[in-house]
Amino acid sequence: MQISIKTHLLYSAEQPCDLLLQIEAVTDAEQDCTGTEFAIQPEVGSRIVQGEEQVGQRRWIHVERSFECLYRTCVLVDRQALELGTLHATPLPLIPGDVTKFLMPSRYCNPSDFITFSQRRFGVEPGGEVVLAMSEWIKRNFIYDNGASDSSTNAIDSFTKRRGVCRDYAHVLISMARAVGIPARFVSAYAPDVVPQDFHAVAEVYLGGQWHLVDPTGMAQVSEIVRIGIGRDAADVSFMTSYGRMELIKQSIQVSRLG
């Protein structure tokens, strides 16, 4: 599937500051980016650094008073969507060392808050069927609400309110999965059919020795998700982290299928 992406950001700064930008689609075995344009106004240099887990890239950019960015690309997504329910969880002692950290608590996702609920509701035998049940439960029981959360909202806050945005849905699923011994991580992404159209957030779970995408909002298909970056939770893959106060003037995200 070919996915067209057009991102336009316009911000002002109260005073000169540095920001870390992560909005560019990953190029890997599943995603091939072509016709890419990346422009910043005023024209300033940027320093590219690798994203978390060496997935994707970030840019350090110095901002004086205003920051405008235009990013365009076409991404060919070639991803096989496996039947998640058929996959088994990797026994805990066999989980690779670099995956183990995705069982642990992180800034927004504390699995200990969900142990009792997850085990009682979904059982203690982890696997793909459990992840699907968790994702479906979140989709059915949560209300998508843009005003329900902010940068301080964590998974248990969202679970208690039963509402939030894609970021919050992903945090709850990640926490539930970790609570039953399934490594899970946060994925920043683009996807068509996201309403309202914006940067999207989904989860990845480690089953059968591999990572697999899951969208608890139900808005995105695995075969159409364009990954930007991954991390323990949203703190690791914010599209923009500014070291100084930035004010939003305009932000536009357009994601569409090309065939």
Exposed, middle or buried, 54 (CB in 10 Å: 0-12/13-18/19+)? exposed
Could you tell me if 132 and 245 lie in one domain? Answer: no
Arithmetic mean of pLDDT, 234-248: 95
Distance between first and last Cα of the chain: 6
**pLDDT mean over 36-54:** 92
106 and 72 in a common domain: no
Give the rounded distance of the alpha carbon of 118 from its chain centre. Answer: 22
User: Is residue 259 scored above 70 in pLDDT?
Assistant: no
pLDDT tens figures, 165-175: 999 999 999 99
- Read off the pLDDT of residues 133-147 as tens digits, 9 standing for 90 and up: 999 999 999 999 999
15 and 48 share one domain: yes
Mean pLDDT for the stretch of residues 179-188: 97
> 117: domain CATH number?
3.10.620.30
- Do 44 and 109 fall within a single domain? no
- In this structure, the answer to whether residues 207 and 99 fall within a common structural domain is yes
> Do 105 and 192 belong together in one domain?
yes
Query: In this structure, are residues 243 and 17 in contact, taking their beta carbons and an 8 Å threshold?
Result: yes
Q: Are residues 109 and 156 in the same domain?
A: yes
> What is the pairing mode between strands 143-144 and 163-164?
parallel
CATH number reported for the structural domain that contains residue 48 in this entry: 2.60.40.2250
Which pLDDT value is given to residue 181?
Answer: 95
pLDDT band at 250 (very low <50, low <70, confident <90, very high): very high
Give residue 44's pLDDT: 84
**Are residues 188 and 251 both part of a single domain?**
no
Give the model confidence (pLDDT) of 89-135 as tens digits: 999 999 999 999 999 999 999 999 999 999 999 987 889 999 999 99
How high does pLDDT run on average in the chain? 95
Domain span at residue 40? 2-78+239-257
pLDDT of residue 123: 83
Confidence of residue 81 (pLDDT cuts 50, 70, 90): confident
Count of domains forming the chain: 2
Same domain, 40 and 97: no
